[in-house]
Structure 1
């Protein structure tokens, strides 16, 4: 039988986790600043505990969400929230669109800075390249995104692994000293919950990537694996950063700080390319979720969504996000904005899914 007829372990179990990582990484830890904001105040060990807690929350929410989506035959986030919250599903869509605008705007600005730093381009060039790639790839649907995530994930995991090895060789003693000398600070539970909550939106955005699953067991295994797959790069990055605790906590871009300490221009170039790839992954994951939502509406009306229509919608979303962000100054809201969205997602996604979702799964078990 063909691969399409008999999806393998990678497609059924690993791919959803890679897609979840893709949605998380761009706004979650690509530059390291996000991890510092949520975890450095708790000290090196407290930060590790917070990251571990966030990983557990990601796995639990992904597991319940994937199983619940299978049980109610949901292919996109609207179907899941309609089954979970009834007419309250609209609350998630409004919050998601606002969050997507914020994330796309911030990532566009970051891509512009990468282009300027590496090639001396005007800032708009890097932003335009990122936007064009997001639009082009999402125009061909979930299958195109899956192919990208296969190769981009190899680059991302490989780069973070090399980064960790180089950091251990260069300043590994600082990592050990920080772990030995710094006490466990307060706030790691709150930091872990908030950080997990604003990123866990990926659990419902990656539902189109569950199309290869064939059983409840697939959904459970993929959900449990999603947390570690998404957190592993962040954990390696965090361990590198704590070599310079607490100094690095006040640095705007911890990644640049560490790359400067390594003093390896070739790796700095590779790392910047990896960050651009991470931004691309996140943009594709977020826009593809909205495209699939629109495609479901089109199928319901009997008019399948064409690639041209997908491209038009993706372009409207990406370009519109940049325009709105520039007009209303959304980029300046990143620090407070991400924290606020974390609490909002805790209320409308994490708590309902882990309570109502779990109750309905247990009340009406699905196949093994």
Structure 2
């Protein structure tokens, strides 16, 4: 095997799953900063940081166990995964997932509208329409296209976040350090970290189509443990930048725009908001692609083939319906009213069974594959 091939294999086995997980969670997790403000700012600078680190640890553990469980039962979509984990109860997860997906797409659609309005002073629905159109197009091209997008878009996202943190430290770094040093952990950071981790960790089962390169338990566990830091690193930098403006930033609809205005570089404001748009696109593609792959797998098990036109129509129906929801509910209301509820639902339907039943089965004996 050539050195290039070996390097590519290592990337696909250990790094790609973390990038795919980051892609699914970033748009609904921290791209605009609104979610970070909702779950962590209220606990104070130190408390919020502890909450984020707790959420990162939960992501790593759950991803590692999810990836290995999926490898053992040969699950390539969430339906097969939960058929093995919950038995007939898998349908409860699918119902919850479809509702959650609609919520997330509504959130990213609303965020795209906010970004377009902030950048161009135009009607927000144009930004929403552009984002949803791109989601439909990429998903209609299949998982391979999504994989290529995640690889290149991740490089852009990490680079722009790195520049953002450097500029924030240059512009108001003294305020960040001062507020961190003067604070003590407030109450609620454990609940905030667990809730935030729980509603986002659903991404671990949505990226199963990207785990096909795993060949050993080591591949699954190592890539899972890396997924937490890979997904959380931009959020940690974003949070530290937000600390400079606690507590007033907790009431801002778009904390990213608030911080960029204080950095005061118009060219970077445009670059950062464009990057957020890409991050929102990643999440929309990841969420809808998971449901599309599940539908294709179900059709194949019945000897049917879903044509490309049907997949396109299916994707369009989902994202356009969520877009309508986004135009009728406020951005902050969507996050505050929906994410917390789904966090506890996912904790009950996914995290708790995985940490108990799933962990026992992973490490106790060979597993039988449930019929699809």
Q: What band does the TM-score fall into relative to the shorter chain?
A: over 0.9
Contact 1:102 1:330 in 2 (8 A): no
Checking the alignment, whether the CA contact within 8 Å between 1:18 and 1:153 is kept in structure 2 is yes
Q: 1:129 — aligned with what?
A: 130
Q: Secondary structure at the match of 2:40?
A: helix
Distance in structure 1 (CA, Å) of the matches to 2:132 and 2:48: 34
* Corresponding residue for residue 173 of structure 2: 172
C-alpha displacement of 1:31: 1.2
CA drift of 1:326 comes to: 5.0
1:163 and 1:277 map into 2 onto residues whose CA distance is: 16
Out of 299-308 and 8-17, give the one that drifted further.
299-308
Question: 1:159-308 to 2 correspondence within 5 Å?
Answer: 159-308=160-309
Q: How many residues align?
A: 365
Q: TM-score, normalised by structure 1?
A: 0.95
Offset at residue 121 of structure 1 (A): 3.9
State the match for 2:74 in structure 1: 73
SS in 2 for 1:14: helix
| Pairing of 1:20-35 with structure 2 (within 5 A) | 20-35=21-36
**2:370 equivalent in structure 1:** none
The TM-score with structure 2 as length reference comes to 0.94
Distance 1:25 1:207 in 2: 17
Any idea what the Cα deviations from partners look like across 1:174-227, whole Å, max 9, x if unmatched?
A: 111011101111111111101100101101001011012222111111100000
Report if aligned partners of 1:105, 1:330 keep a CA contact under 8 Å in 2. no
After superposition, the CA RMSD in angstroms is: 1.9
Q: Secondary structure at the match of 1:302?
A: coil
Worse-superposed segment, 108-117 or 228-237: 108-117
For residue 8 of structure 1, give the secondary structure of its aligned residue in structure 2. Answer: helix
Q: CA separation in 2, counterparts of 1:256 and 1:324? A: 23
Gaps of 5+ in 2: 368-372
Deviation readout 1:273-306 (Å, 9 max, x if unpaired): 0110011000000000001001101211222333
Separation (CA, whole Å) in 1 of partners of 2:214 and 2:306: 23
CA distance in 2, matches of 1:251, 1:8: 43
Q: 1:306 to 1:7 in 2, by over 3 A?
A: farther
Q: The residue matched to 2:48 in structure 1 has which SS?
A: helix
Gaps of 5+ in 1: none
Q: Does 1:119 align with 2:120?
A: yes
Q: Deviations over 1:4-37 (max 9, x none)?
A: 9996111111111011001111111111111111
The answer to whether the 8 A contact 1:26-1:281 is kept is yes
